[in-house]
Amino acid sequence: MYNVLNLAKRRISIRNFLSEPIDLRDVLYALDAARNAPSGANKQPWRFIIITDNELKKKIRSYCEDAEKEFHSRAPEWMKSWLLEKGITWRKEFLTQAPVLIMVFGKTKEPYWVQSVWLAIGYLLLALEERGLASLTYTPPKVSWANKLLAVPTDYMLQVIIPVGRAKESKRSKERLGLEHIAYCNKWGHTYDLCLNGIDSYKR
């Protein structure tokens, strides 16, 4: 059995997927978790379209790659370096390689809709990881094409595409700032240990 911390540590963004099919009930399990997330005024401004159709995946990839070519040519220098270092190009093979894509839409008229949708995506990623499914949060540079392609009402906007499947690449270890760099006590820069006065230190 896992706990949330284990899942959070184990889960890593994957860009290379095996094409083997997955059990869609695992995806539905994760969406079931996501729909239970809190949201601004409980408006639940999220909708998820599960993409399993191969022809549709090809079209989605084509729209995304067209937008990526433009984005890559205009990216700031630091991002170009980062993309190069990570081996990220305009090619988005994972959009046709992964057996399933989850297209996540947000209802743009609701209060805190972006915040609510992304909080739910946090739930979703952990639930997918629990079921042994690899994922990536891929945000295409342009999104309006998705409304037409999938008959989505205009008051919903594509927020992210999450390819889901089995990882083809081996999982690297994650680079993250230590807890001491991101958690403070009562004031910016004051180490969290100060809040632990008297009790044992936090063991990671």
Q: Which of residues 106-145 bind its own copies (CB under 8 A)?
A: 111-112, 114-116, 118-123, 125-127, 130, 137, 139
Backbone angles phi, psi at 159, to 5 degrees: -105, -35
Q: Is 67 an interacting residue with respect to its own copies (CB under 8 A)?
A: no
Provide the mask over 154-183, with x wherever binding to its own copies is found by CB under 8 A and - wherever it is not: -----xx-------------xxxx-x--xx
Between CA 8 and CA 2 the distance in angstroms is 10
Instruction: Supply the minimum distance, in Å, between the C-beta of residue 135 and its own copies.
Output: 9
Residue with smaller CB distance to its own copies, 127 or 143: 127
Residue with smaller CB distance to its own copies, 30 or 98: 30
Instruction: Supply the minimum distance, in Å, between the C-beta of residue 189 and its own copies.
Output: 7
Stretch that binds its own copies, among 3-11, 63-71, 89-97, 164-172 (CB under 8 A): 3-11
Q: Is 18 an interacting residue with respect to its own copies (CB under 8 A)?
A: no
Q: Is 90 an interacting residue with respect to its own copies (CB under 8 A)?
A: no
Q: Tally Cβ neighbours within 10 Å of residue 34.
A: 24
Given the DSSP bridges, would you call strands 156-165 and 134-135 parallel, antiparallel or unpaired? antiparallel
Between CA 41 and CA 118 the distance in angstroms is 15
Q: Which residue has the tokens 């760099």?
A: 181
Closest Cα partner for 117 from 130, 104, 103, 126? 104
The encoded tokens of residue 181 equal 């760099």
Q: Is 84 an interacting residue with respect to its own copies (CB under 8 A)?
A: no
Between CA 11 and CA 136 the distance in angstroms is 10
Exactly one of 37, 62, 67, 71 binds its own copies (CB under 8 A); which one?
37
Q: Is 46 an interacting residue with respect to its own copies (CB under 8 A)?
A: yes
Stretch that binds its own copies, among 38-46, 61-69, 91-99, 165-173 (CB under 8 A): 38-46
Residue with smaller CB distance to its own copies, 79 or 91: 79
CA dihedral of residues 65, 110, 8, 160 (deg, nearest 10): -10
Residue 39 backbone zone (phi > 0: left; psi -120 to 50: alpha; other: beta):
beta
Exactly one of 19, 53, 89, 108 binds its own copies (CB under 8 A); which one?
53
Exactly one of 50, 62, 67, 71 binds its own copies (CB under 8 A); which one?
50
Q: Is 51 an interacting residue with respect to its own copies (CB under 8 A)?
A: yes
Cβ burial of 40 (10 Å; 0-12, 13-18, 19+) is middle
